Chain A
């Protein structure tokens, strides 16, 4: 265990770059998947193309995608941009389907009521449908986050520094503890992402707990807190 204490600084650094390699594509991917998914809902004719096409991208094995990225981007094989773009592709591939399902989970009557109240198409999507879609969206995002953390570690085979380094290095040196550090680090990081998304979901859906959990006669929590 002394090895872990001696390398705590390095582990933290690798964990931070792992979090960036998995997290930034998650945010960018969500930003890209939202309009794509919305478009797929609006235009049922191109929906199979958008959903199916993005799904196909997820089919490509990660190591192959990392290696093929320089060919597409014109970058060097060791540029971090390869990993960022590849991870963004995977995130979009997973999330487009989630966005379509999430928007589909909004009750038809609510959408119609919003239209009746005078919301235009875009305003309704942003102010009514998007907030109501958060629970389904969040569960899709959690799947993507866990998947991203795991896939990023594969990039260590090519030589991008992150927690996966401890896996390859530990194997080459036949040092089980180091592999253990890599695995535990990845699992903890996935857990952190999961908790962060759950927290964001909790904060964004005050309506989900306003009625049910408070019990009768008690003010909803967020009202009591202010």
Chain B
């Protein structure tokens, strides 16, 4: 079985043409990136605003509650209602992108909001005390401090989008999911498994890259990595890092965002 999958993965016809792996990979990444950018344009400013002002928390609660809706159901429902209303050949793309955007919003929103909410009140007060105004505090203090949680929201959203874009092959979207769904239709297990390996590899790679981005984007003052060796010897950062922000980080990031 493994040899058959390997044969499928390495066959030259798999690596060229409009049904080849490179094309499917670019499609998959393209739909995912487009959806994430659209969702982030809505959800990140909104989440920062909710966290900054403390108003509109119900938006975050509501978005989180909406996650109980199964993504497969949302996909089929939107495809059925929106698809027939679009006459061009975008009829297969638009419903899927709509669903991907909808699914990416809750983790982005709650990541940004929780990030700002978890900012040490002392840091915020100090910023106001130094004469900074609301928008300046948000940009200069709250946003950098919120970055770890915000970026873990981005990671969760990205994984959700890549996974759902795979399923969206069932409503005729292109991308790597095609191999899984098409292979299923004709009971071609090597094709399904080969596609599944590609999808898993894509998800792991993208998540790894985002982990690296998080590492470099987050201020060393927050991640407890300044002063070199000492911080590494103390991975929990309990001695060096500003208390509340740091101690809430690990638990919140998984519980609320993933």
Contact = CB atoms under 8 A, between A and B. Distances in A.
Interface of A: 44, 48, 56, 58-65, 67-68, 70-71, 77, 94, 97-98, 100-101, 104-105, 136, 139-140, 143, 146, 149-150, 153-154, 156-158, 164, 167-168, 170-171, 174, 176, 179-180, 182-183, 186-187, 190-191
Contact of A146 (B67, B80, B184): B67
A150 B79 CA distance: 18
B12 to A, nearest CB: 24
Nearest to A166: B73
A149 B73 CA distance: 12
Given A61-B162, A143-B258, A150-B70, A68 B200 contact: yes
Interface stretch (B48-56, B163-171, B218-226): B163-171
A154 B254 contact: no
B200 A183 contact: no
B167 A183 contact: no
A157 B73 CA distance: 11
B29 to A, nearest CB: 14
B197 A150 contact: no
Those 4 A-B pairs whose CB atoms lie nearest each other, nearest first: A61-B163, A64-B196, A183-B73, A171-B76
A101 B116 CA distance: 21
Determine which residue in B68, B162, B177, B251 has the highest number of CB atoms from chain A within 10 A of its CB, and name it. B68
B8 interface: no
B192 interface: yes
A59 B207 contact: yes
A182 B70 CA distance: 9
Interface in B135-194: 159, 162-163, 166-167, 170-171, 177, 180-181, 184, 189, 192-193
B239 to A, nearest CB: 14
Nearest to B160: A61
Contacts of A98: 254-255
Contacts, number: 145
Contacts of A60: 199-200, 203-204
Interface residues of B, number: 44
B255 to A, nearest CB: 6
Nearest to A68: B196
A191 B181 CA distance: 30
A65 B199 CA distance: 10
Interface in B96-154: none
Contacts of B199: 60-61, 63-64
Interface of chain A: mostly helix, strand, loop or mixed? helix
A63 B167 contact: yes
A58 B69 contact: no
Given A101-B250, A146-B67, A61 B203 contact: yes
Nearest to A153: B70
Q: Which of B69, B81, B195 has the most CB of A within 10 A?
A: B69
Contact of B76 (A140, A170, A187): A170
A171 B196 contact: no
Contacts of B250: 97, 100-101
Contacts of A62: 163, 167
B212 interface: no
Contact of B69 (A139, A156, A183): A183
A174 B73 contact: no
B71 interface: yes
Nearest to A97: B254
Given A61-B167, A140-B255, A170-B76, 16 more contacts: A48-B235, A59-B203, A60-B203, A61-B163, A61-B166, A62-B167, A64-B166, A64-B203, A67-B196, A68-B197, A71-B193, A143-B254, A156-B72, A171-B80, A171-B171, A187-B70
Nearest to A150: B70
B69 A157 contact: no
A170 to B, nearest CB: 7
